[in-house]
Amino acid sequence: MLRKVLPTSSAVKVAQKCVFRNASTAAPIRPRICIVGAGPAGFYTAQYILKHLDNSDIDIVEKLPVPFGLVRFGVAPDHPEVKNVINTFTKTAENPRVRFLGNLCLGKDFTLEELRERYHAVLLTYGAEQDNTLNIPNENLQNVLSAREFVAWYNGLPGFENLNPELSGKSLTLLGQGNVAVDVARIVLSNVDDLKKTDITEYALETLSRSRIDTVHLVGRRGPLQAAFTIKELREMLKLSSCTTRWRADDFDHVEESIPNLPRPRKRITELMVKSLAEQAPNNVPLAGRCFQPIFFRSPVNFVGCGKVEAVEYVVNRLADGRAVPTEQRETIATDLVCRSIGYRAVSVDNHINFDARKGCVNNAGGRVLKRNLTGSDQTIDDIEDKYETGLYASGWLATGPTGVILTTMNNSFGVADLVCRDFNSNTIRLNGSRPGLELAGRPYVSWHGWKAIDREEVRLGQAKGKPREKLTRIETMLQIASNASD
Question: Phi/psi class of residue 242: alpha, beta or left (left: φ > 0; alpha: ψ in -120 to 50)?
Answer: left
Torsion of CA 251, 256, 258, 261, to 10 degrees: 140
Is residue 151 annotated as involved in ligand binding? Answer: no
Residue 281: DSSP 8-state: P
Half-sphere exposure of residue 357: CA atoms within 13 angstroms, side-chain side: 4
Beta bridge partners of 330: 315
Residue 233, marked binder: yes
What amino acid occupies position 13? K
Q: Is the Cβ–Cβ distance between 155 and 200 less than 8 Å?
A: yes
Q: Is 222 annotated as a binding residue?
A: yes
As a whole number of angstroms, the distance between CA 58 and CA 273 comes to 47
| Measured distance CA(50)–CA(461) in Å, rounded | 34
**Is 397 annotated as belonging to a binding site?**
yes
405 in a known ligand binding site: yes
Let me know: does 190 contact 78? Beta carbons within 8 Å: yes
Is 398 labelled as part of a ligand binding site?
no
Distance of alpha carbon 120 from alpha carbon 393, whole angstroms: 12
**Residue 404 counted as an annotated binding residue:** yes
62 is in an annotated binding site: yes
DSSP state of 84: G
Helices 40-52, 406-425: axis angle to 10 degrees equals 40
406 is in an annotated binding site: yes
Binding site members for NADP(+): 177-180, 221-222, 233, 404
Binding site members for FAD: 41, 62, 70, 106, 397, 404-406
Binding site members: 41, 62, 70, 106, 177-180, 221-222, 233, 397, 404-406
